[in-house]
Amino acid sequence: MKRKWLLWLPFALGLVLLGLFYVGLKKPEDHIIVSRMVGKPLPLFTAPAALPGQPGAATADYRMGKPRLLNIFASWCVPCVAEVPVLLRLKAMGVEVDGIAVHDTTEALQSFLARNGNPYTRIGRDDQSRIQLMLGSSGVPETFVIDGRGMIVHQHIGVVSEADIPKLLGLLGQQK
């Protein structure tokens, strides 16, 4: 009796597997790719200035003792517009926000900042996504929290909203 039951076991397992396949097919493939660089030192990079009047960004700027936000953005990125007011608020609270402009042009950036405001202390250009790849970032916008010793503390994927301010301030070691 027990053996007969055992005979059906492979079929039952097969059915379970088919069920899992079905569920897997129904679930849309939408992975949020988290950077493996969080908790590691900021890789060595030098991003030339994207705008004439504003400095670019380099790794050495993140070892000066003050934590900073490193915002990966682009003027062609629609959701990036939504986070500018929040970044401006953070700036008003004394947070240093730097930008890395991915695949961008000076003119497009200038009009983007003229329209939305400029929360950035430094803006570096990254025409070939080299810095983005070094950081393990897979899209725009993304915001990295870098502590004063050049360590990547946190990666925020997507738009920074009002609701994220307390968390970011906490990570930056600032009391609200």
Partner 1 sequence: MRRLFALLAALLLAIPLHTGQALAQDYAEESLPNPRQEEQALALMDAIRCVVCQGQPISGSNADLAGDMRRIIREKIAAGESPAQVRAWLVSKYGDWVSFQPQVSPATSPLWLVPLATLIGGFWLLSRRIRIGRKR
Instruction: Tell me 150's DSSP state.
Output: S
2-61 residues in contact with partner 1 (CB under 8 A) are: 29-31, 33-37
| Nearer residue to partner 1 within complex by CB, 29 or 107 | 29
Which residue in the set 58, 103, 148, 171 belongs to the binding site for partner 1 (CB under 8 A)? Answer: 103
The nearest distance, CB 13 to partner 1, in angstroms, is 11
Cβ pair 109, 51 in contact under 8 A:
yes
Of the candidates 131, 99, 132, 128, the one whose C-alpha atom is nearest the C-alpha of residue 116 is: 99
- Helices assigned H by DSSP within 56-175: 78-92, 106-116, 130-135, 165-171
Q: How many CB atoms lie within 10 A of CB 126?
A: 26
| Nearer residue to partner 1 within complex by CB, 70 or 135 | 135
| Nearer residue to partner 1 within complex by CB, 41 or 148 | 41
Cis omega before residue 43 (within 30°)? no
The distance of Cα 51 from the centroid of its chain, to the nearest Å, equals 22
- Specify the stretch interacting with partner 1 by CB under 8 A; choose among 65-73, 83-91, 127-135, 151-159: 127-135
| Nearer residue to partner 1 within complex by CB, 55 or 139 | 139
Of the candidates 156, 151, 159, 158, the one whose C-alpha atom is nearest the C-alpha of residue 167 is: 156
Q: Is 141 in the site for partner 1 (CB under 8 A)?
A: no
Which residue in the set 54, 71, 118, 132 belongs to the binding site for partner 1 (CB under 8 A)? Answer: 132
The nearest distance, CB 68 to partner 1, in angstroms, is 21
Residues that bind partner 1 (CB under 8 A): 29-31, 33-37, 103, 128-130, 132-136, 138-139
